[in-house]
Structure 1
Amino acid sequence: MPARTTVLLLASLMTLPVLATASDTPAAFENLLGMKFVPIPPGEFMMGSDESPEALATAYPQYERKRFLDLGDEAPVHRVRITHAFHLGQHEVTVGQFRRFLDASGHRPESEADGTGGYGYNRDYDPASSARGDAFEGRHPRYSWRNPGFPQGDDHPVVNVSWNDAVAMAKWLSEKEGVTYRLPTEAEWEYAARAGSRTRYHSGDDPQSLSMAANVFDADAQADWVRWSKFALASRDGFAFTAPVGSFAPNAFGLHDMHGNAWEWCADWHDDAYYAQSPRDDPQGPSTGTVRVRRGGSWHTWAFYARSSYRNWNAPDTRYTLVGFRLVREAGVKTR
């Protein structure tokens, strides 16, 4: 195990509360697509953040203060109990695994099925013609999970996949293996990401701690985004775009890339006010909505937005060059 991985893992384990006995927790598992799943025990945690704008301004001095005033959906901090053990993908779903799913199932991802494509990075794209003022080119048939505008290997996280594509993969795996696969709930995701920590990241409170724990916006990427250079971490992680999954230190549950690399779809609808009415046990999110939650940040994400508590969202048919997913495999009896 690399030295940086060992140091961070030991540090996380020192703060991890006793959550469950060994008998409560399922064993690790690898499925028919070669996806590795690690056991997540039941337990309790405090979900959300109540950090003041003043504290955040001190930690992130290069950000405008208004960014710290638009975080109402992270509050109130509330106690959540995850009552069941489950398996969670050790890594984000990779390009190779998604390809094998498509080849075996015949599913056509939305970026290809409707002919509109996905988003893509284009170094030569004129930012003046972009509503976002950046080098992400809007939907075009040339872009999809196969081509996000930068090179990827089969071991990189798949991106440009919609929430609907992720659900289709979970449904197919469930039918093939006779167990339930699904997207994690938002509460399960944050519980797993924190892995017993209460800091901004599983690696600590310092944004620079992400240099060993996450592929986020740093000095290796800032050359492609000069206008946002001040938001880049000073460190270099060796990747300007996505990195092979598992390249960075895991958290105390053994999960990689819970911060950075690719945003991850969750099962829930998003509602700014949901935390105020969330049940304590196994919250499932609002019963209706228009946008689905995504969590964790990506290779392009500034450190502030990669915090464990930060919430983001998109429409279920969104396909974007920053967004991928990981799956839950439920523990217990087979469904057939």
Structure 2
Amino acid sequence: MASSAWSIGPAATLPTQIENSVGMKFVLVPAGEFMMGSDESPDSLAKSYPQYERARFLELDDEAPVHKVRITRAFYLGQHHVTVGQFRRFLEASGYKPESETDGTGGYGYNPDYDPAKSVRGDAFEGRNPKYSWRNPGFQQGDDHPVVNVTWNDAVAMSKWLSETEGKTYRLPTEAEWEYSARAGTRTRYYTGDDPQSLLKAANIFDADAQKNWEKWAIYALAGHDGFAFTSPVGSFAPNAFGLYDMHGNAWAWTADWYGEHYYANSPLDDPKGPATGAVRVRRGGSWHTWSFYARSSYRNWNSPDTRYTLVGMRLLREAD
């Protein structure tokens, strides 16, 4: 437990940091309100991202309208992504089998001999293939790296097991809780400011270190080095004002929400939870292979709940008592 605390009303005091049974550290995020989304113009974006086709800036309707959101209760958010070591401890203790293993199709992985041009989708990675999973994304990871190749369903299963084991409520953050936490009081594209180059001090992103393995996308790489060609140990870069690490980059994080392209137009003021139904779940934050444009705090992406990929991991939320 941390020594300092937020005051939540006159009758309750909560520790600012906690650590759970599998070694996951959580930071208290206070209740508050913020402006969610972005209505930045294509002209403004084109000035900062001149290497991108202008058509990309015309496909961001789902980030608008900018709207006020009120987070009415404090919560604990994982200070880092769930790590390889923490996920392994969950599997060993619970007996749960990840989807990449139970359905026999595996995941995706980095193969230096793989040719994206020969893929139907032009994908940067090889898969699905049983040789790839959370255990093997095609590159070396330590126990302190973010676990990847995990599905939304895997994340929900870990949350459920932790809840049952500890008698606390664990879950994925809503899309609003994630963006509120990522912004940490800012209204800029990143919590480091508007300049994409500012990410080099706070994020493991697609830069000169990763670009050497994908020369065809070199124009999208940040001009500089973050020191990592693939995932990095969690907490390797500067945190935001809430004390959260890697909210931009390293691994995309699943959220609880179904994706709704026009949901923002009718989103409730208090604690929005996304559409009641849908086909795909939202992921946020970008990854070690993500171009800076897609790592903005407001950017929304999505996948089916059974997707497992070398860029996608998770960050869990624990509700405050």
Q: Structure 1 unaligned segments of length 5 or more: list them.
A: 1-19
1:103 aligns to 2:88 (yes or no): no
Q: Distance in 1 between matches of 2:231 and 2:72?
A: 34
Structure 2 CA distance for aligned equivalents of residues 128 and 331 of structure 1:
48
Query: Are 1:124 and 1:135, in contact at CA under 8 Å, matched by a contact in 2?
Result: no
Aligned to 1:306: 295
Q: Does 1:330 align with 2:313?
A: no
1:221 match: secondary structure: helix
- Contact 1:122 1:135 (8 Å CA) reproduced: no
Q: Percent identity?
A: 77
Asked if the contact 2:285/2:299 (under 8 Å) is kept, the reply is yes
TM-score (norm 1): 0.92
User: Which residue of structure 2 lines up, in the alignment, with residue 127 of structure 1?
Assistant: 116
Q: 1:260 aligns with which of 246, 249, 264?
A: 249
Please list, as runs of the form range in 1=range in 2, the aligned pairs for 1:314-325 lying within 5 A after superposition. Answer: 314-325=303-314
Structure 2 residue corresponding to 1:42, chosen from 31, 35, 58: 31
Please state if 1:224 is matched with 2:213: yes
Q: Look up the match of 2:63.
A: 74
Q: State the partner residue of 2:153.
A: 164
Gaps of 5+ in 2: none
Q: Which residue of 2 aligns with 1:236?
A: 225
C-alpha separation between the residues in 2 aligned to 1:225 and 1:271? 32
Q: 1:99 Cα deviation (Å)?
A: 0.2
1:194 correspondence with 2:178: no
Provide Cα deviations, 1:56-99, integer angstroms capped at 9, x if missing partner. Answer: 00011111100100001000000000000000000000000000
In the alignment, the residues of structure 1 paired with residue 14 and residue 315 of structure 2 have an alpha-carbon distance, to the nearest angstrom, of 18
Matched letter for residue 23 of structure 1: I
Amino acid at match of 1:88: L
Give aligned pairs, total. 313
Question: Aligned equivalents of 1:235 and 1:128: distance in 2?
Answer: 27
In structure 2, the partner of 1:22 is 7
Q: Is the 8 A contact 2:6 2:14 kept in 1?
A: no
User: SS of the residue aligned with 1:248?
Assistant: coil
Aligned residue type for 1:26: L
Q: Does 1:53 align with 2:38?
A: no
Report how far residue 26 of structure 1 moved. Answer: 2.7
For residue 131 of structure 1, report the CA deviation from its aligned partner: 2.3
Q: For residue 49 of structure 1, what is the amino acid of its counterpart? A: S
Separation (CA, whole Å) in 1 of partners of 2:178 and 2:143: 24
TM score, norm. by length of structure 2: 0.96
Distance in 1 (CA, whole Å) between partners of 2:100 and 2:248 is 25
CA apart distance, 1:158: 0.1
Q: Give the counterpart of 2:102 among 113, 117, 121.
A: 113
1:138 is displaced (CA, Å) by: 1.8
The amino acid of 2:142's aligned partner reads: G
